[in-house]
A and B are shown apart, each in its own frame.
Chain A
Amino acid sequence: MPESVRALLERFRPPVSVRTYGTVFTDTTEFMNIGYGDVIAVGGRHYLVMGDEKERRFGMEDPKFWVKRCVELESGLYRILKLEFQESFDQHIGALTITCHRSAVKEARILRLVAGDPSFMQGAGVKDERGNLVRVLERVAGRRLDLNIEDLHLDHRQYFHEVFPGILERFLAACRAISFLHGHGETHGDIRRDHLYVDHKTGDYCWIDFDYGYDSVENPFGLDLFGLGNILCFITGQGVHTIQDLDTGALGLTEADCALFFRHRVVNLRKLFPYVPEDLNRVLMHYSAESEVYYESVPELLADLEPCLDHLRRA
């Protein structure tokens, strides 16, 4: 074990045991070389690396080598360090390809903007010795919303009447949080159902991971609104419903009932669940292949969606 790491561990006695010890990094440029047992020293603090974070989607695990699970030696608290990794890549939404960029500067700026707001993950950007912008993040004490919903063992009718109104209420608050970002000229950039967490203590929703950015376009909030629509369809339907899994003939389903970008995903949920109120279904249909009218701002979406909650509460 290098003397420098040994001294740190003896001084701070972290709440975890580490099998092997590595190096103290003050320059995080070569993040692939930073691994288990190393220490990252930034912002006057020391972070013992426990491993790389993984993206878990659709049963697959994808390591994110620039995101490190750490313990802050000074406090013993768990932290996630996102190391600077500037890249541009193509993102596919249905048949569309969009060039996207990952920006540490953007995420650090938003972290400053939302400091203290429980609707967003918390943390701060600090520079390493080489000037790389490292984001030191608090671990969200919660679980992904979509996993919570998938674990509910209720039929849809019971879910819709007993659980969904509470979920919608919190989702509306999450939409208002996105509107707050937009009001400050920022976008989340990567709104997906696995980027929305439920706080263990309060049950409130918390957005994570906002380092994606895009080139300026006429409707700068379109991608965020697309993401919100996908989540709304998911929470309303208690999951995704695809035409492959349904009796399209019996239900009278056509392509017009499916999502604009995912032509197999049903958004006209009233055809599957006739007790979904017309006003809520109308909001969902803005995301359908047949829609000619789209939401351009979150307040427009909220203006249609908030009365739906009142309606559900009264029913």
Chain B
Amino acid sequence: MDFKNILISVDASDNALRAVEYAATILSATPGVRVTLLYIERAPNRDRFDTEEAWLGQCKLDHQRVFDFLKTARARLLDAGIPDAAMFERTVLCSAEPSVAQTILDVQQEGGYGTLVVGRRGLTKGEEFLFGSVSSKLVHNAKNCAVWVVQ
């Protein structure tokens, strides 16, 4: 694995932005890095919406939020001195199974990423029981790579 081949898994949250900023700071002085921003897209639960239009409207909003986030994240990395040519973006669709964490790990393995960076929400024990934690699963299940968990 190439540890300078960095995968930053993001959603459009503040936690993800902290992870990007941390990575930007650490990597700014490291020559030869390649950074991929990975967004795992999961459509909002269709059952929650009365109509197809309402659901599509939410999908569009989510898309826009992520689009804006990726623009911001790229700008932060660029400001830190990561060359534009060394930055990549990837979006992967994910349904309930496999989980988001497993999808991230599949991308990490396929792409030969040696460093994986994620934000952490700081769930309580109860929340982790009921909802599950992506970062915990990554720490437990990642192989052949370093995992940076940023809170």
Which residue of chain B has the shortest Cβ distance to A295 in the bound complex? B129
Binary per-residue interface labels of chain A (97-114) against chain B in the complex, 1 for a CB within 8 Å, 0 otherwise: 010010101100000000
B97 beta carbon closer than 8 Å to chain A: yes
Contact of A294 among B42, B48, B97, B128 (CB under 8 A): B128
Give chain B interface residues in 94-142, CB to chain A under 8 Å. Answer: 95-97, 99-101, 124-134, 137
9-residue interface stretch from A116-124, A141-149, A219-227, A238-246: A219-227
**A260 contacts B45, C-beta separation under 8 Å:** no
B47 beta carbon closer than 8 Å to chain A: yes
**A217 contacts B131, C-beta separation under 8 Å:** yes
**A213 contacts B47, C-beta separation under 8 Å:** yes
Which residue of chain A has the shortest Cβ distance to B96 in the bound complex? A220
**A218 contacts B101, C-beta separation under 8 Å:** yes
B44 beta carbon closer than 8 Å to chain A: yes
A249 beta carbon closer than 8 Å to chain B: no
**A88 contacts B48, C-beta separation under 8 Å:** yes
**Residue of A86, A88, A106, A218 with most chain B CB atoms under a 10 A cut-off:** A218
Binary per-residue interface labels of chain A (187-218) against chain B in the complex, 1 for a CB within 8 Å, 0 otherwise: 00000000000000000000000000111111
Contact residues of B: prevailing secondary structure? helix
A95 beta carbon closer than 8 Å to chain B: yes
Which residue of chain B has the shortest Cβ distance to A215 in the bound complex? B45
**A96 contacts B127, C-beta separation under 8 Å:** yes
**A185 contacts B95, C-beta separation under 8 Å:** yes
CB neighbours (8 Å) of B97 from chain A are: 185, 220
**Bound-complex Cα distance A186 to B100 (A):** 17
Contact of A216 among B96, B126, B128, B130 (CB under 8 A): B96
A53 beta carbon closer than 8 Å to chain B: no
A296 beta carbon closer than 8 Å to chain B: yes
CB neighbours (8 Å) of A214 from chain B are: 45
A94 beta carbon closer than 8 Å to chain B: yes
Which residue of chain B has the shortest Cβ distance to A219 in the bound complex? B132
CB neighbours (8 Å) of A218 from chain B are: 99-101, 131-134, 137
A265 CB to nearest chain B CB (Å):
14
A215-B45, A218-B99, A218-B137 as given contacts; A86 in contact with B127, CB under 8 Å: no
B41 CB to nearest chain A CB (Å):
11
CB neighbours (8 Å) of B53 from chain A are: none
A97 CB to nearest chain B CB (Å):
11
Residues in chain B within 8 A of chain A (CB atoms): 42, 44-48, 50, 95-97, 99-101, 124-134, 137
11 contacts between A and B (CB under 8 A): A94-B126, A95-B126, A101-B45, A105-B46, A216-B96, A217-B131, A218-B99, A218-B100, A219-B99, A219-B131, A222-B130
